[in-house]
Structure 1
Amino acid sequence: MTRSPHGVILFNPRSAEHKHRIPNSILQVAASIQNDRSFALVDGNRERDPWSTIRDHLASGRYRYFGTTVMPGPQLRQAVPFAHRAKQEFPEVTTIWGGYFAANQHRTVLSSGVVDFVIDGPGDEAFPALLACLDRGKDPVDVPNLIWTNAEAIIRNRKAALPDMDELAALPYAALDEVYPLHQYLGRTFMGERTLAYHSSFGCPFTCSFCAVVPIYKARWKGVSAERIAKDVKYVKDHWGADAIEFHDNNFFVSEKRSVAFSELIMDEGMGWWGEGRIDTLDRYSDDSLRIMRNAGCRMIFFGAESGDDEELARMDKGGTQSGEQILRFAARMAEFDIIPEYSFVLGFPASSEKEVLDRIDRDISFIRRVKEVNPATEIIIYVYSPVPTEGSELFDRVKQAGFHFPDKLTDWLDPVWENFDLRKNPLTPWLTHRAIDRIRDFETVLNGMYPTVSDIKLDQRKRRMLQQISRFRYRRGAYSRPYEIKLLQKLWRYRRPETEGFEML
């Protein structure tokens, strides 16, 4: 096969200020083109001046395409201005975006005039097919998973079936290691000294109306086989010393058979691991399966509990069989296997009045306290509801009726309030008053003081005990308002927030 002379820059914008994970998104794309053309990996997390590196690549004349992965939030701070600079300084270069933000906000992205194409979902087939069309000067009408413009009209090409992930090329870890030493991505977490970030599946088979995955994958899921996962993990362990794994799948545990087979394959590797799943899915796992997973190093599982109110769960279109009673029962069951359940709750959904919003928040707070009663080890993560454009869902219809809308211009997303919105720090929803937000945040502060997260590995036992001592009175009395003394200690000790920072990495 003749290699194309037109190379590709694959850019991962900065997403965090400190220890960084392997940029799996651009590695996945690089794997799809590594036999066809040259590529340059640029990780904004590891570059002091990433634009200078990108500009040097573009100025060399070897790269015709500039691909960027874009998640909502901090990545926009580099993605947006760099797209403008590339178009201004190198107008002949084609700019291609992928990721949740690009797909879910594609109208705003494409109308900006600085992004030419958006990959809507997996790019393993779409990206090389798009480049092949552009190399030949043809319109990409047959390229799947592509959103683009033609005569100012936005065109959404057909959705491709999810690929057989075992047939996809292996990620080019060695190519990344040549640019950024890979061992520097393997940081210390509560699971191990050198933690690998790994993605083993695409999508999720459910349709939660608040989830950014749903509009892209349409309730589809496809996973790598247990054998392939184990092979990849052992490869990174043997070459760079990984001893723990974070599975960044949207839903790792869809298949009990796969979960158990993977566990059995790495049973003797001494690796701790974490993944995301659904309560109603894992509650169907047998005791033997959960025991095998724990013996193989499963330390914690993240679950979207969302709410203890069955009517609210129905409005979220969670699908499956999850209920408030099941959430409580399963938390207790996990304690039997020494696997920490990490429950996330979403507070602040739209309602017809401020009183109804506050009443729902109070009910959720009471339910979270019940979870802690049945299993105090349960980690609780609280999000303030941030709408996602899941057209046709009852929840998104309620959001629009309440007067909420997203920015119309790409540059407007650079406003700090929208970055914080995407991190669920600063809700801009018209139904949430300051009183409601304070009620959520104050409870969260007291809860985290009473039950500090185990994933904050910098917080020693002395600090944990002190936080618990000053929080105990408030928690027992339900006196959450204005917990300034707890906030002061959390700020002083840089208490980490799992909901926005992920696991602490050293």
Structure 2
Amino acid sequence: MNKILLFNPKSAVAKHRIPNSILSIAASVEGKYQWAIVDGNCEADPLAKLESYLETGEYKYIGFTIMPGPQLKQGIPFAKAIKERFPGTVMIWGGYFPSTQPKAVLESGYVDFVINGPGDHAFPSLIDALEKGTPYEFIKNVTYYANGDIIKNPKEDLFEQDPLPPLPYDKLNDFYGIDKWYLGRTYLGERTMAYHSSIGCPFTCSFCAVVPIYEARWKAKSAKNVYNDVKYIHDKWGADAIEFHDNNFFVSEKRTVEFSKLIKPEKMSWWGMARIDTMDKFSDASLAAVREGGCKIIFFGAESGNNLILEQLDKGGTQTGDQIIRFAERLKKFDIIPEYSFVLGTPAPTAKQVEAQIDFEIDFIKRVKAVNPRTEIVLYTYSPVPTEGSALFKQVQEQGFKYPRVLEDWISPAWENFDMRKNPLTPWLTPEMIDKIRNFETVLNGVYPTVTDIRLNDLKRRAIKLVAGVRYKVNMYKYPYEIKLLQRVWKYRQPEISGF
């Protein structure tokens, strides 16, 4: 009874992706322990599937990967039900949510351990210790509850990625056919795969959930190894496009260009995330190579056009409002679509200042659109993250913001929306301010429907642009019911919520 059951809770309604995080844990124990994967995205009744494995009496360990938001809806009640029915199992959680909220997770009484950050070394070491009855108190990246206290073992230095064992794609395919479940049709291609080529990010933005976990560290696979993995899935299962889910794919110009040149003959389209000030340093030749290598669209955290807000957010680097606009215009000549995200509603001393900041960002976004209308705009409402020691998090706490203390409270509708950065639950934002943000977003998406919504045909695009265009031109954003109606009828897709 030492098999391992790995669970990926449901994260999307459609277009499921290869569960890379849980697959990396499977790779870490491959050849040492037998394992099975249950993917909540692919099961009509995932709890029943989990219980069918546990009923065999062969599975002692069960690992959940948990992102904030949708995955909690299955993660929390399933973990509770499993622990009640199979109290002898050892429940281990990993992922962004338990790494940032270990107290609520461990005090629930049904999670035994949290892997705080990468689990490639910590998870198999913890299983070894539990199997052998040896101490786990010194295993790095492990957090647990003991004698009424939360014990956080020291963090492990980020390790090189190339020596890690290969992901067991073929065994995953035995559980869930890769071509059936994990290669979806998107704006990028007919059979889009997901891949992680690096972990971490070398910056310390105080609004980012990655920072407390990786602490300004970044490690990446070599361009050659990334290419080899991608080509394997391309050749075996027909993938024709890639979503790189790295926190920051484009840190190294050399690696990016090398990969672009390697992948070019495969004619695969791809997308990744970057920083504006990093890529603005890329030479024209490098940007041209990136586009020639198949890159169609890049997500950038623009966050704000206000330099004081960028400083408040601890954006770091050299990014400025002027650079945001200049770079959007620069990308036009390379036929790369910049996807800019903005964070509206950052805290300020007075309500008048908060509203003035929102108005500034709305005007700034319209300036970005004026220089490059193809720029995709993603709007988020500022949601605090627990970046310990950051001035911004102290500020939001002083203004009365608190996280739920009880794990079950995280699956209330309000907190689910909080995790999607749509309902901030922050004391300094009034309902009128939130309405202003959402209404502007509705009009903006009407005038400039996202290119990534492949279900929206030309006729629908022209119709919604016509309806929204007058509002956009005269800055009339209140009560855009006619636009909302069209978006609801046509099931308009917002990439920040549902992906491509």
TM-score bucket (shorter structure): over 0.9
Select the residue among 334, 343, 348 that pairs with 2:345: 348
- 2:240 counterpart of 1:243: yes
**Deviation per residue, 1:434-485 (Å, 9 max, x gap):** 1100100110000000000000000000000001111110001011111110
Amino acid at match of 1:219: A
Amino acid at match of 1:419: E
1:45-124 residue pairs with structure 2 within 5 A? Answer: 45-124=41-120
User: What is the alpha-carbon distance in structure 2 between the residues aligned to residue 322 and residue 448 of structure 1?
Assistant: 26
The residue aligned with 1:162 is 158
Secondary structure in 2 matching 1:165? coil
Secondary structure in 2 matching 1:103? helix
- The Cα shift of 1:151 comes to 1.4
The residue aligned with 2:418 is 421
The residue aligned with 1:211 is 208
Secondary structure in 2 matching 1:444? helix
- The Cα shift of 1:391 comes to 1.5
Amino acid at match of 1:438: D
* 2:15 and 2:185 in contact (8 A); partners too: no
**Deviation per residue, 1:63-112 (Å, 9 max, x gap):** 11010000011111111111111211111110000000010000110111
The residue aligned with 1:182 is 178
Amino acid at match of 2:356: D
Secondary structure in 1 matching 2:300? strand
Secondary structure in 1 matching 2:123? helix
Secondary structure in 2 matching 1:430? coil
The residue aligned with 2:368 is 371
Select the residue among 1, 19, 22 that pairs with 2:18: 22
- The Cα shift of 1:227 comes to 0.2
- 2:412 counterpart of 1:405: no
Secondary structure in 2 matching 1:25? helix
User: What is the alpha-carbon distance in structure 1 between the residues aligned to residue 436 and residue 77 of structure 2?
Assistant: 36
Select the residue among 217, 221, 224 that pairs with 2:221: 224
The residue aligned with 1:483 is 480
The residue aligned with 2:146 is 150
**Deviation per residue, 1:308-327 (Å, 9 max, x gap):** 00010001111100000110
- The Cα shift of 1:139 comes to 3.0
Secondary structure in 2 matching 1:456? coil
- The Cα shift of 1:406 comes to 0.2
The residue aligned with 1:137 is 133
User: What is the alpha-carbon distance in structure 2 between the residues aligned to residue 30 and residue 337 of structure 1?
Assistant: 40
User: What is the alpha-carbon distance in structure 2 between the residues aligned to residue 136 and residue 153 of structure 1?
Assistant: 24
**Deviation per residue, 1:235-276 (Å, 9 max, x gap):** 000110000000000000000000000001111101000000
1:354-503 residue pairs with structure 2 within 5 A? Answer: 354-503=351-500
Amino acid at match of 2:334: F
- The Cα shift of 1:363 comes to 0.2
Cα RMSD (Å): 0.8
Secondary structure in 2 matching 1:266? helix
User: What is the alpha-carbon distance in structure 2 between the residues aligned to residue 162 and residue 404 of structure 1?
Assistant: 32
User: What is the alpha-carbon distance in structure 1 between the residues aligned to residue 411 and residue 474 of structure 2?
Assistant: 41
Give the count of matched residue pairs. 499
Secondary structure in 2 matching 1:166? coil
**Deviation per residue, 1:196-233 (Å, 9 max, x gap):** 10011010000000000000000000001000000000
**Deviation per residue, 1:306-355 (Å, 9 max, x gap):** 00000100011111000001101100001110000000000011112221
Secondary structure in 2 matching 1:419? helix
User: What is the alpha-carbon distance in structure 1 between the residues aligned to residue 280 and residue 398 of structure 2?
Assistant: 36
Amino acid at match of 1:154: I
Secondary structure in 2 matching 1:170? coil
TM-score by length of 2: 0.99
Structure 2: which 5+ residue stretches go unaligned?
none
User: What is the alpha-carbon distance in structure 2 between the residues aligned to residue 206 and residue 95 of structure 1?
Assistant: 32
Amino acid at match of 1:446: V
- The Cα shift of 1:138 comes to 2.6
User: What is the alpha-carbon distance in structure 1 between the residues aligned to residue 463 and residue 335 of structure 2?
Assistant: 25
User: What is the alpha-carbon distance in structure 2 between the residues aligned to residue 180 and residue 313 of structure 1?
Assistant: 43
Secondary structure in 1 matching 2:460? helix
- The Cα shift of 1:487 comes to 0.5
- 2:35 counterpart of 1:39: yes
User: What is the alpha-carbon distance in structure 2 between the residues aligned to residue 277 and residue 241 of structure 1?
Assistant: 27
- 2:8 counterpart of 1:12: yes
Structure 1: which 5+ residue stretches go unaligned?
none
- The Cα shift of 1:427 comes to 2.0
- The Cα shift of 1:425 comes to 2.0
The residue aligned with 1:275 is 272
Amino acid at match of 1:454: V
* 2:37 and 2:172 in contact (8 A); partners too: yes
User: What is the alpha-carbon distance in structure 1 between the residues aligned to residue 97 and residue 134 of structure 2?
Assistant: 27
Select the residue among 119, 122, 130 that pairs with 1:126: 122
Runs of 4+ in 1 over 2 A off after TM superposition: none
The residue aligned with 2:249 is 252
- The Cα shift of 1:150 comes to 1.8
- The Cα shift of 1:19 comes to 2.1
TM-score by length of 1: 0.98
